[in-house]
Structure 1
Amino acid sequence: MENFYLSPEEASIVYSPHFIQLKNSAMEKVMVMMGRLQEELAEYDRGSDFPFEPEWLQQGPKISKGEQYKQLPWVMLDYPRYFSKKAVFAFRTMFWWGHYFSCTLHLAGTVKETFREALVDGYTKLATAGFQVYQQEDPWEHDFENGNYKFIGDVSFEDWKEMVDRYSFIKLAKPFALEHWGGIITEIVAAYATLLSLLNNKGRA
């Protein structure tokens, strides 16, 4: 028989609207933060010489939110946001309740092949900057638990080259502690700049 009785801790939340009101207020502030972050990323793009293909920016930014990424609320910003059947060029920032912020560069298909040499040659820069590489076959997991990611600095250069070629996509990511709240925008823009600089140096003939 299912137990539908509340524990004292559950009851303390159910009997009061205050927790949900605070949670909703916090989520609205995250949405505002993501909007500001998108503006800062776009401002960086306007001042850089990164060779974006026109279609990589045509889809525009997207901010989305939900309640159930592994049973917890989340907010995502996708900018730049280019997803097609043949290629992906996306930079995703995620807030995951109770865990962290994260930013992820997702390259796939023809885009990944364009930047393959830059990715291989960027091994030291990525390792030094503390980036991690995604290890699973399903590209749509976003958290750093369960062995999803590994620090690039913890693999050899030879293993790194194999990781770059392992799948039709690659995801490079960094988590940021929630305690860094006030500096998150600056830190994520800096990570974005590091990634674009790495790709720009060697990404084109």
Structure 2
Amino acid sequence: MKNFLLTPAEQQVAFDASWIYRKNSVIEKVMELLGALHQQLEQHNNTRHFNFPAACLQRGAKISKGERYKELPWVMLDYPRFFSQEEVFAFRTMFWWGHYFSCTLHLAGAVKEQYAIALIQGYTQLARSGFQVYVQEDPWQHDFEDGNYRAVETFTVQEWRQLVLQQRFIKLAKPFALDIWENIIPQVVAEYAILLEVLGK
């Protein structure tokens, strides 16, 4: 019967609408930020010269938002993006409330196979650049908690080769602290450029 009773902290939130307006304003600004990021990615020289999978750039950018990724609001940009039942080529930038921004390259299926040799040969550059690789089974987890990711540099060259060849998908990612808000666009663009350089070799 007491489950519906509010704690003092919950009362403070429930009785004050102003924080909701501030939260909505933050989400709107994140969406504007990701829209600006899309423009930077689209205009980048690497985008213009990279040989993407045929369907990838025909789909344009997509900005999505939600309220409860692990109970917290989120906003994400997918660009470039290609998702089918078996194949994925996507570069995803995500804002996760109270935690961080992240950027992730997700390759799956025949698309992953297409770039497997380039990923193997790119080990040194990926390791030196501080990328992390997803090591769990469910490809749709996006956070860096619970051992989801492991730094590329912690693998030996042989271990990295085996991982790339054996995994049905590859996710390479980096988190960025929220306090670099004003510089997140150039940071993400720089990581995007590195990833396309690796795949293009």
TM-score grouping bracket, smaller chain normalisation: over 0.9
4+ runs of 1 displaced by more than 2 Å? 45-48
Report deviation, 1:65: 0.2
Q: Does 1:65 align with 2:62?
A: no
CA displacement 1:44-95 (0-9 Å, x = unmatched): 1576421123311111110000000000000010001101133211000100
Q: CA RMSD in A?
A: 1.3
1:142 corresponds in structure 2 to 142
Code of the aligned partner of 1:159: E
SS at match of 2:49: coil
Alignment of 1:97-112 (within 5 A): 97-112=97-112
Code of the aligned partner of 2:19: F
Runs of 5+ unmatched residues, structure 2: none
2:12 corresponds in structure 1 to 12
Report deviation, 1:136: 0.9
Alignment of 1:20-31 (within 5 A): 20-31=20-31
Report deviation, 1:10: 1.3
Segment drifting more, 140-149 vs 51-60? 51-60
Q: Does 1:44 align with 2:44?
A: yes
The alignment's TM-score, normalised by the length of structure 1, stands at 0.94
Aligned length: 201
CA contact (8 A) 1:90 1:106 kept: yes
Report deviation, 1:18: 0.9
In 1: Cα distance, 2:139 partner to 2:194 partner? 22
Alignment of 1:131-170 (within 5 A): 131-170=131-170
The alignment's TM-score, normalised by the length of structure 2, stands at 0.96
1:8–1:138: structure 2 CA closer, same or farther, 3 Å change rule? Answer: same
CA contact (8 A) 1:79 1:90 kept: yes
CA contact (8 A) 2:101 2:178 kept: yes
SS at match of 2:44: helix
Code of the aligned partner of 1:140: W
In 1: Cα distance, 2:161 partner to 2:153 partner? 13
1:93 corresponds in structure 2 to 93
In 2: Cα distance, 1:47 partner to 1:168 partner? 25
Q: Percent identity?
A: 56
